[in-house]
Each structure stands twice: as structure tokens, then as C-alpha cells.
Chain A
Amino acid sequence: MLEEGRISNRQAAFLVITTILSTTSIGFLPSMIYQEAAQDSWISILLLTVYGIVVGRIIMSLGMRFPDKTIVEYAEIVTGRIPGKIIGFLYVLFFLYLNTFPIRFFGELSITFFMPETPLVFFLIGIIFAAAYAVRSGLEVIARANEIILPVSLTIGIILAIMLFPQMEIKNFIPMLEKGILPVFKGTYVALVYFAETIVMVMFIPYLNTTRRTRGIIFKSFVVISLCELLAVVSTIAVLGELAARIPVPAIFAARLVSLAELIERVEPLFLLLWVIAVFVKVSVFYYCFVLATAQWLNLKEYKALVLPAGVLLTVLSVVLWGNIADLYEQMVKLVPYFVFVEAVLPLVLLVAACLRGKGGTAGEN
């Protein structure tokens, strides 16, 4: 075993929640959804929740057939050696590539809103260095850190939403379905990648300390995710209305508008705190998945040696992959089908193949 640590079901659920929420609710996602679905974004969120639960169930069913292996290992069992290696490599690349988005976006956001003249690479090194430390310490450490971080960030998020309450206008949501149902689906589409980030569970399942009641992980985490997502999207739309479409990070923009009795104003540093700690967990999770998957793919005995090279790779990739911020936004939408393939379609194919070929424990969950 490469990883000695074990995490509980609750810790796994917390990791999934932070991973998904960090970029979706406080990041760029509300704006991306709003551009398509306008005032009906909240319906998109509901659809996305259903999608997330379905994909999560597929991933969990697949993983629980092989309760002591990660996807890189059991892909070979299911499909044979060579195709299995290819699939494993796909996941290695996926965990690396998907991680560059939140890292780069973290840098861009900090620059745009807080420190316009600081070089990008300083932010990237900062977050990757912290994440590297977490990854070296192992899964258990990340999970425990997250047990503190998630409640703190949720509390900050809820406080921000409450402070914005006086400026919310319910009329921003009317009329419903003004342009029909199609924009709602479009809004759902752009966010598909992020709601299927439960894919990280394919790397975590062998390290759960119990094989019982794992079904609850997905459902419970999606209840929290959905509620927080709705809170974020609904409050930004209620405050900003049509402005939300033009602002890449509406939540932080909304945070700037907080003004309570002329006493509590400009609370966006609070938001920055929330953003930094949440993104830190997300980056660590994907970083960890990448390093672990690589080690398993190469049949290494130890993954820690890979941490620093992987960090350098992540830093470089996050800088060179996109020339400017417009590039970044475009890629996010363009790459949706590829990511969805890796996150949802491939696990489904593997699950069906495993069932047909009778591989893995049929007992599955519970």
C-alpha cells in the first residue's frame, strides 16, 4: 500500500464537499451559469445536483466492486493490461490537468481583485507549496485539515450571504423560464465538469476505514453542496441581477457591496480568506490524486518522491497553459466534453464492463 492513512466516511464526504464547492460556489461558476441560464440559474443547479448524484453513484458502485484498489489498479483488472494502462494514464493526466484550472484561477482572482502588480507565479508557488506540504503528509492529514476548514468556510460564506441580505431583490428571478428551458440546459452544461468532481473518490475508496454505509457519502455531500450552491447563486443573482453575467467572480463582487449601517463595509478580505483555504483543499486533493495515481501507474513503492516534481510541473503548467485570462475562460467551456468523458462516461463504461465480465466483488456497497 502506498498510503497508510485511513479516512472515515465523514472525512471523505467533507473532502468531496470542499473540492466541489471551492470553485463552484465562490469561484467563476455562478457567472458562467448565469451567462446562459440568467435568472433561472437555480434550476440549473438543481439539475446539476441530480447529475452529480447519478455520477457519484456510478463512481461509488464502480469503486466498491474493488474496495481495496484505486481506479489505476482495477482498470487493468477490468479491461486487461494494455487498455488498463491507457485508462490509468488518462486519469493521471486528468488529475494533473484539471488541477491547473483552480490553481491558475486562484492566481488570477487574487491579482485582479487584490494585488494587481504582484507576479502571478508568486500566488501559484504559494498555494502549491502549501498543497505540496499537505500531500507529503498524506491523505489523512488533508482530510483532518479539511474537517476544520470546511465548517469555517461554510460559516464565512453564510455570514457573507446574510450581510448581503438587505440588498437582495427577489424580482431579479422573475419571470421564470423567460427564454424557455433550453438556456437552463446550457447553464447546466458549462458546469458539468465541476459537479462530477466526485471522481476523486476513485482514488479514496481503498483508504476508507470502513466499507459500510459508503452510499451515504455521495448523497449527504450533495445535499450540502446543493444547498450551498443555491445559497451562493441565489444571493449573487438577487444582489447583482444582470450584472452577474459580466463579472467573472460575482460572489467577490457582491462581497464588495456589503454595507451594514455604514459600519461593516468592504468585507472582501473575509472572502479572500474563504477562497484561499477552500482552494487550498481542492488543490491538495487533486494534487494528491495525481501523485498517488502516478505512483501506482508506475508501480512505485513510495509516492512522496513525486511530490516536489509534481509541484514544479503544476506551477509551470498553470503559467504556460494559458496566455491570458480570456484563454482560461474559453478553455473552461471548450474542454467540458473531454472532462465529462473522463469523469462520468469512462467510469460508467468500466462499471458495465466489470459487471459483464464479472470482475470485482458483486456485493458492492453496504
Chain B
Amino acid sequence: MKIKLFLVFLILHLFVLTGCWNRVELDRRAIVAGFGADKAEEEGKIQVTVQVVDAGEIKAIPLARGGSMMNAVTVYTGTGFTAFDAFRNLSMVIGEKLFLSEVRVLVVGEELAREGLDKVIDFYERDHEPNIRDYLIVVKGGEAKEVLETELRINKIWAYGIDSMIKTTMAHSKAPATEIIDFLKAVESKTTAPVATVIHVLRKGNEENAGEGKSNQDGTTAVQPKELKVSETAVFRHYKLTGWLDEKESRGLLWVTGKVKSGIIVVSSPEKEDKLAAIEIIRAKSKIKPEITDGNLIINIDVWEEGNLGEEQPDTMDVSKPIVLKELEERKKTVIEDEISAAVIKAQELNADIFGFGEAVRRKYPREWKQLEDQWDEIFPTLEVNIAVDAKIRRTGKITKSAEPKP
């Protein structure tokens, strides 16, 4: 009897343990790798581009066989009144339900960014599938569609290629790697201006490549040979794009926010001004210290940086001498200060507190902040900012002097 009951119990499990209600088998799922949003041509509508992974194509077709084996994705575009609407409308074309959990990059076209990212971000945050740790990228002078349609060599799933391009910004520190959650945190703050990573579409010289455009998986859209480049910073006020920082200013921003991980600083050699030396950044730290003296608000930025000499163009410089390194440190310091002040000036021009100075003041002077808070838009553009950089060179690589022809 007991055994029979137990069997009934086991059979009951068949009904309970079969999985979720809305399960979709892997082969019936259209896995999205990259999500793009643009302003549609039709007024008031949004155009959504998705890069869908062809699950069968991921299993490597050997590279050596030639052909366009770099396509493991298909790109679809659709429009709708809101992002979610447009996204769901895509299923009309694709015939499968799209699955957003594997998305790694949210690409937004410049036009939509100028109109406001609120039209995309809320959906992205509210829906249960997307991850708000995806990267947020703005296309400078272009559309997200264009970016997602660009064939990349580094990864068969192109959007993941973009993802690794952003991860690599830490090697040069000329663009921030902004996750959606960072953007949201800045939006939530009353004064901080959000930033986002910028991507450029580089169209290669058309003459030699003309007519060589490769076709997509579906064989409909011809793709011009293009390249993508991740650099620079998009600056927002609340949800709206207001301006850009160039590479130098971008690094200035990263110095202040303490996000410089690595990169190269080029200085002129102390011995011969036309010769250059390249110094690799190893680590850096920063601190924003607001100070109120006699009712005047001053922001002090302290940056500490440590690096190694990575290259010098052969000249008479003898880097085994401490005094030479001192001189190089001085020059490096000037370059860093330059980058930071360029960023500060640009931010003040745009009246966008990308560094979070306001938040720093709020933390240190909560009482005074209550008055400053509402006038921050007037205060920030004329704020006095002191930059103090402490730059060190620790090592000079495997050799001391470079090889020189003996006179």
C-alpha cells in the first residue's frame, strides 16, 4: 500500500516538475545578442534593431574553409510606438519570440539620444529579461542599425565583438565603459550628468572595396565594408544627449572618476624636444575634495598615478639617471593635468557635472548643499577647480638606454 502511494506521489511529480509555464526550447528561441534603438523615420516612433544569434552557426565552421563564416548572426529592424512595441513587432518578421537575457550591448543612435534615452531605458530596466549591467553605447553621427549591421572580425557574434571592444577601453582609457546601471545612478542623482560610451562607424575607402559588399545571412541587405571604433564619451543631461568629449577629454574624465586602468601617455623627451617617449599607466587613484572657505566653493582634484617607461625614440636621454626620470615625471604630470583641465573646461561649457562634483559637495557639506543644490546649474560652469597630480615613473623596462650608433 505504502509503495503504491509512493508511486502515485512520484507520478504526480511529472505534472509539477516539468518546468516553467512559459518555457521555450532553445531551438525555438531567438537569442538576441545586441539591442539597438533609433528614432524611426516616422514621427514619434522608435526603430529597434536586434542582432539575433543563429544558434546552429555558432558551432565553428572551420575558419580555413573560407567564405563568410563570420556570420553567426542575423540583423532585423522594426518600428513601433515604444521600444517594447517595436521589439515585439519584430517577432512578426522573425517568427520566434525574442529572448533578451543574453544581450550585452544596448546601442542607441545619436538622434534618439538627443531626444532622450528615457524612451529605451525604462523598458530595459522593467522587463525581467535584460540585464542592466549591459553596456550603453551611443553612435556618434549614426544609427544603431548601422552599428549592429557592421561585420566584425573579432567575434562571430558581432555584438559580443562590440562588447569586447568596450572591455578593451581599459587598455587605452580613451572612452568610458558605461554600464546601464551607472547611467541610471547618474540620472537618479540631482546634479550628476550621465555619460555613455561612444562608438563610431568608420567607412573604409570605397574605391578598392566597391562592389565587394558582403551579404547578410538572409541575403537581402548588402553590407558595406565598415569598421567600428570605440572611443570618446557622450555627455547627457538627465536623459538627453548634449555633447561629446573627445579622446583627450574622455581620459581627463576617467582620471577624475578614478577609472583609468591603463593607457599610454606620450611626452616629448627632455633632451630633444622633437623626440617622444611613451609612458604606460600602471595604476591610478583619484579623490575629489570640495572645500568651502569664506562661502567660496572650490573643488580640489587629487590624482595619483604610477607608470613605467614603455618606449623612447632613440636620443641621448639616459633613463638610468634619476634626474631624467624626474624630468619625465614632470612632463607626464603636465600632460595629465592638461587632460583633466580639458575635460573640466568642456564639462563646464556643456554645464554637465559629469564628475559628480555636486555629489561630492553633498557628502562633505550636507548643510551648505541645501542652498547650493538648486543653483548648481549656475554654480557649476564657473566653479573653481584645482588639479593636483602626483605622477610617478617606477621602472624603465628591460633596457636602460636605447641602442645608439656610436659616433
Contacts and interface: CB of A to CB of B under 8 A. Distances in A.
A171 B128 contact: no
A174 interface: yes
Contacts of A257: 132-133, 181
A114 B20 contact: yes
Contact of A117 (B16, B22, B131, B363): B22
Nearest to B127: A116
A122 interface: yes
A178 B366 contact: yes
A144 interface: no
B133 A175 contact: no
Given A115-B22, A118-B21, A242-B189, A175 B128 contact: no
Nearest to B188: A242
A87 to B, nearest CB: 40
A154 to B, nearest CB: 26
Contacts of B128: 112-114, 116
B362 interface: yes
A175 B366 contact: yes
Interface in B345-367: 359, 362-364, 366
Given A242-B185, A257-B181, A115 B20 contact: yes
Interface in A240-272: 241-243, 256-257, 259, 266
B21 A241 contact: no
Interface string B124-140: 00001001110000000
Interface string B8-33: 00000000100011100000000000
Interface string B74-110: 0000000000000000000000000001000000000
A165 to B, nearest CB: 16
A119 interface: yes
Given A257-B133, A266-B131, A115 B185 contact: no
Contact of B22 (A113, A116, A266): A116
A115 B21 CA distance: 7
B117 interface: no
B363 A243 contact: no
B385 interface: no
A119 B21 contact: yes
B184 interface: yes
Interface in A116-134: 116-119, 122, 126
Contacts of A117: 21-22
Nearest to A123: B21
B21 A243 contact: no
Contact of B188 (A113, A116, A122, A243): A243
B12 to A, nearest CB: 11
The 3 tightest CB contacts between A and B, nearest first, are: A118-B21, A175-B366, A117-B22
Interface of A: 112-119, 122, 126, 171, 174-175, 178, 241-243, 256-257, 259, 266
Interface of B: 16, 20-22, 101, 128, 131-133, 181, 184-185, 188-189, 359, 362-364, 366
10 contacts: A117-B22, A118-B20, A118-B21, A171-B359, A171-B363, A243-B181, A243-B184, A257-B132, A257-B133, A266-B101
Given A115-B22, A174-B363, 6 more contacts: A112-B128, A171-B359, A175-B364, A242-B188, A256-B131, A256-B133
